[in-house]
Amino acid sequence: MLKTILVHVDGGPCQQSRLRAATLLASAHGAHLVGSAATGLSLASYAVFNGSMAMPVSNRDFQELREAVTVQLDDFVAQAERLGVSGAEARMVEDADRDGLLLQSRYADLVVVSQDSSQDNGRDRARAERGLPQYLALHGARPVLVVPDAYHGKPIPGNALVGWDGSMPAQRAIQAALPLLAQAGTVHLALVNPDLQAGLHGDEPGADMAHYLARHGLKVDVAVERTRAPEGEALMDMARDCRAGLMVTGAFGHSRYREWILGGVTRDVLDRAPAPLLIAH
C-alpha cells in the first residue's frame, strides 16, 4: 500500500513533472503527499563555516537559504493543490538534498525524484544532485520513482514493463512495485538474453515469476528478447513497444564500481527511461 509519498522539492525546471506523477499517485492511492526541500547546509556545517576564516557564512546568508527554501515549499503546496491534492505537507531539511531525502524516506512508502539527465537541463550544475536516484536506492530502504522531465501525466502504471534478471535487486523492485502493478492493464515481464544467466531462471525463463505475479491478480505477459544490444537499450525499446506507463528494474545488480565506471543497465535506464521508472536495491 502507498500511504505516504515523498517528493523532492528544489524549485528546479523538472519539479513540475515529478510533482505531476506524485500527485497522480497520491490521488489514486489515497496517499499523503510530503515535499522535502533542503537548504544545502546543516546546522553543524553552518557552525563550522561560521567560525572559519576560509569560508565564513553569515547569519544573514544562512537565513536567506532558509527563506528561499520556504518559498520553494510554499510553491510546492500551491502546485499540489492546483493538481488536485489538498493537505500536502512541506518539510524543510537543513542538510544536503540527498541526506535530507534519505532521512525523510524512512517515513514514506515511495520517494519521487527526477532523472539525472533532466536535472542538468537548464539548472545550475553546482546545485544539481548528480546520482540522486542511485544514492537513495542504494542507501535507503524505500523504492524510488524516477520521473523523466518529458512526463506530462500519462497514467501510472497503464501497461507496465518489468525487467527480470533473477537478481535480488530485481526481486525487491518487483515486491515494492506490487501496489502500482495491481492497477496495471498488462504487466510485461521482460527478460533480455536470459540464457546468459540460466542458473537464475529455471527451465523456463520467466515462468515462475509470471506465476507469482499472476497469483497477485495481475495480467502477465512474458517477453524474452535475445539481442546484441545493451540490456538497458533493449528494455527501453520494449517499454516503448508496449507503451508502458511504468518501468520497474532492480538497481545495481553487479559491482557498484563496475556500474559507475563502465555504465550498465541501471545507469542507462535511469538516465533515459521513456516512462517513470521504479527502482529498488
Residues 59-78: tens digit of each pLDDT: 777 788 899 999 999 999 99
Q: Confirm if 140 and 108 have CB atoms less than 8 A apart.
A: no
More confident residue, 166 or 254: 166
Task: Please determine, looking at this structure, whether the domain spanning 4-147 carries the CATH number 3.40.50.620.
Answer: yes
Neighbour tally for 116: CB within 10 Å: 19
> According to CATH, what is the number of the domain 159-280?
3.40.50.620
Backbone angles phi, psi at 206, to 5 degrees: 90, -20
Alpha-carbon distance of 112 to 146, in angstroms, equals 6
Cα angle 30-236-211, degrees, rounded to a multiple of 5: 65
Instruction: Give pTM, 2 decimals.
Output: 0.89
List the domain boundaries for the chain. 4-147, 159-280
Does the pLDDT at position 262 exceed 70?
no
Q: Comparing C-alpha atoms, which of 174, 169, 191, 166 is closest to residue 246?
A: 174
Where are the extended beta strands (E) located within 138-207? Answer: 144-147, 159-163, 187-192
Give residue 136's Cα distance to chain centre.
Answer: 8
> Do the domains 4-147 and 159-280 sit in the same CATH topology, yes or no?
yes
The predicted pLDDT at position 206 comes to: 94
- Cα–Cα distance measured from residue 264 to residue 281, given in angstroms and rounded to the nearest whole number: 15
Question: Residues 1-46: pLDDT tens digits?
Answer: 899 999 999 999 999 999 999 999 999 999 999 999 999 876 555 5
Q: What is the pLDDT of residues 26-38, one digit of tens each?
A: 999 999 999 999 9
